[in-house]
Amino acid sequence: MNGPVERAREALASGLPPVEVYAALAVGADFRATALAVCDALGIPRADAEHRLRGTEELWGDFAPGDEEFLGELLDLAAVFDVHVTLDEPGEQVRRLMDRSMSALGGIGSGAAFGISRKLATGRLPEAYTVLVGLPVRERGDPARYRAELIAAGELLADWLPPDDQEAAGRVREARERCARRDASGRRPASDTG
């Protein structure tokens, strides 16, 4: 009989997302142990998985049988199942430029910052880029630096994307053009609704 980690690996290999794998395996099982098994199956080191679950201990007692799917969604929202990737040098350069553009915003809401950080850590650079382009530069920010970093990141990102990913290339191109249209204050022109 396969253990929870092996069952999680098989389910993930079949194409199921981690949330669904968690929900299926957690039925009748220890919720926390199931989360660790899914993390292990994803290749997340045990120490990292334990760290991600820290602070969730009080949650476990609040859930009952039948709550597995909801709990899996909460764990996913908390980035427990995120697989961090190591990018090649051009990808790392894009990630660094986007990090610098975030620091030039002059502040960013915690939800937006968390979402962007997740995208950057998991290698979803086009998604992070399009979100960053849509953020406003605050009064204490540096609009010129923000735009310069993002335009440079967009150019490198366009070259970094696989040639067959035309959808992502189109989103990045459109976002880069929106960024270039912003005035020196970092605000969108009145005619720019995107």
With beta carbons less than 8 A apart as the criterion, state whether 101 and 149 touch. Answer: yes
pLDDT per residue rounded down to tens, the chain (194 residues): 579 999 999 999 999 999 999 999 999 998 899 999 999 999 999 999 999 998 777 777 778 888 899 989 989 988 899 999 999 999 999 999 999 999 999 988 888 899 999 999 999 999 999 999 989 889 999 999 999 999 999 999 999 988 888 888 888 889 888 888 875 544 544 444 44
Q: Minimal CA–CA distance to 27: which of 11, 43, 15?
A: 11
Element (H, E) at 96: helix 89-103
Residue 59 is predicted with a pLDDT of 72
| CA pair distance 81, 149, nearest whole angstrom | 30
pLDDT for the residue numbered 1: 53
Predicted local confidence at residue 194, as pLDDT: 44
Query: What's the pLDDT at 178?
Result: 87
Smallest CA-to-CA distance from 157 within 137, 165, 114 is with 165
> Can you give the C-alpha Rg of the chain in angstroms?
20
What pLDDT shows up at residue 18? 95
pTM of the model: 0.76
pLDDT of residue 165: 87
pLDDT, residue 10, reads: 95
Instruction: Report the 3 state secondary structure along 102-161.
Output: HHCCCCCCHHHHHHHHHHHHCCCHHHHHHHHHCCCCCCCCCHHHHHHHHHHHHHHHHHHC
